[in-house]
Amino acid sequence: MIEKRQFYIDGAWVDALEGRDHQVIDPATEEPCAVIALGGQADTDAAVAAAKRALPGWMATPVADRIALVEKLLAVYLERAEEMAQAMTLEMGAPIALSRASQVGAGSFHLKNFIDAAKTFEFDKAFSEAFPDTRMIHEAVGVCALITPWNWPMNQVTLKVGAAAVAGCTMIMKPSEESPLSAMLFAEMMDAAGFPKGVFNLVNGDGVGVGTQLSGHADVDMVSFTGSTRAGRAISKTAAETLKRVHLELGGKGANLIFADADDKAVKRGVLHMMQNSGQSCNAPSRMMVEAPIYDRVVEEAAAVAQSVTVGAPSEDGRHIGPVVNAVQYDKIQGLIETGIKEGARLVAGGPGRPEGFNKGFYVRPTVFADVTPDMTIAREEIFGPVLSIMKFESEEEAVEIANDTPYGLTNYVQSTDTERRHRLARQLRSGMVEMNGKSRAPGAPFGGMKQSGNGREAGILGIHDFLEIKAVSGWAAE
């Protein structure tokens, strides 16, 4: 049993002032694997006070020096990559191969992109050639609360910490209580990199406790939150009392539009993307929408691909999927699978219960429903598990209508070799991101959504922007 009951505050590991024990559950065994402390108001106040004290000095630190510390952080991160992979596999059930390649890799990828972006970012520049006497200064927002989720721990931690650090903000991070071990290891890395005390602080806690305390704290200038839309609403309401800036990266219900002229790998690509990380990704392509002439063939192929996806223990090497994170999530997914059956969707792969060979652990069968209609619950709710809904459309116009008929707007996908069609759809689909034909976004390209998928953008230059205020100064030139 791992015991980690301390918080990282003001450059030191300190005992919790008001902490209560919390067991971290290994989702593969349903047994406790660690004990941490969940903080209280006194712990939150101590962390905020440390960040507030450190802010003037960190803001005044030259940008080049801030970037150099992030470069040191990246080096430490890479040195301890295997420890990080093992921590995430234990706490949230990602298969070790996925942890090593994608879960850990996402963190190093984002840190490198922030370093590159910051080196070209003009933090201080003339407003224009015509008006050089007016100066635009990009200044840190201030003390920032960073509230991160369990599903892609280092992806979200580095997207927030890397941007805030180069922007000159000081931070209090509250990771998910489901995945605290990787976050505490990251705090060790921040310390080893040599960040000044108080610049980065970590307090473990739950959303109702530390999360609410940070969101409403008078000395916190910004909250950057990734998680559920429900929690995002609560944070926004709490933060409104102090009019602080709020950045939200929330849920999604991505549509994957597959046209008759899609490439041969489009269906397999879409199913495997849906199943990655056991379906626990906000940008998962969970609604596969298929043009009528190829619908039957696609359903058959999608079912076969899902049936080929194996489920295995996170500790075992290989390209399988692991369990979902906890009992609450498992029960929610099982309930939605049952709802899909009751509402008339046609089950073509997977279904209720654990996969064959598992009698414990939060394992879910890779599941595919066909003949799903837009009014069905599984077409509207974010399931956050390895469950794919296949829908039929007759025309491009109908596809757009169905795709946009959701409160979410994070990522949509298009599979078509018709360039003009792709260009039309890119403008018509209401989402912060549109990915086409399996092409990944460029390094540093912005990540974020619209509607109830949140606001603000993460990664690269626009991610740094989110942690900056713009100050307009006139009369800059000498008299």
The tens digit of pLDDT for each residue in 10-33 reads 999 999 999 899 999 999 999 999
Which tokens is 22 given? 């919390």
Residue of 282, 291, 382, 435 with catalytic role: 282
CA end-to-end distance (rounded Å), the chain: 68
Count the alpha carbons within 13 Å of 403 in the hemisphere toward its beta carbon. 31
Quick count: other Cβ atoms within 10 Å of Cβ 212?
18
For the whole prediction, is pTM greater than 0.95?
yes
Catalytic site includes residue 82: no
Residue 464: name the closest of 113, 175, 197 by CA: 113
The tens digit of pLDDT for each residue in 222-231 reads 999 999 999 9
Catalytic site includes residue 249: yes
Report the amino acid identity of residue 382: E
pLDDT in tens, the chain (479 residues): 899 999 999 999 999 999 899 999 999 999 999 999 999 999 999 999 999 999 999 999 999 999 999 999 999 999 999 999 999 999 999 999 999 999 999 999 999 999 999 999 999 999 999 999 999 999 999 999 999 999 999 999 999 999 999 999 999 999 999 999 999 999 999 999 999 999 999 999 999 999 999 999 999 999 999 999 999 999 999 999 999 999 999 999 999 999 999 999 999 999 999 999 999 999 999 999 999 999 999 999 999 999 999 999 999 999 999 999 999 999 999 999 999 999 999 999 999 999 999 999 999 999 999 999 999 999 999 999 999 999 999 999 999 999 999 999 999 999 999 999 999 999 999 999 999 999 999 999 999 999 999 999 999 999 999 999 999 999 998 65
The tens digit of pLDDT for each residue in 97-148 reads 999 999 999 999 999 999 999 999 999 999 999 999 999 999 999 999 999 9
Given this model, what pLDDT does residue 478 score?
A: 64
Residue of 178, 249, 291, 458 with catalytic role: 249
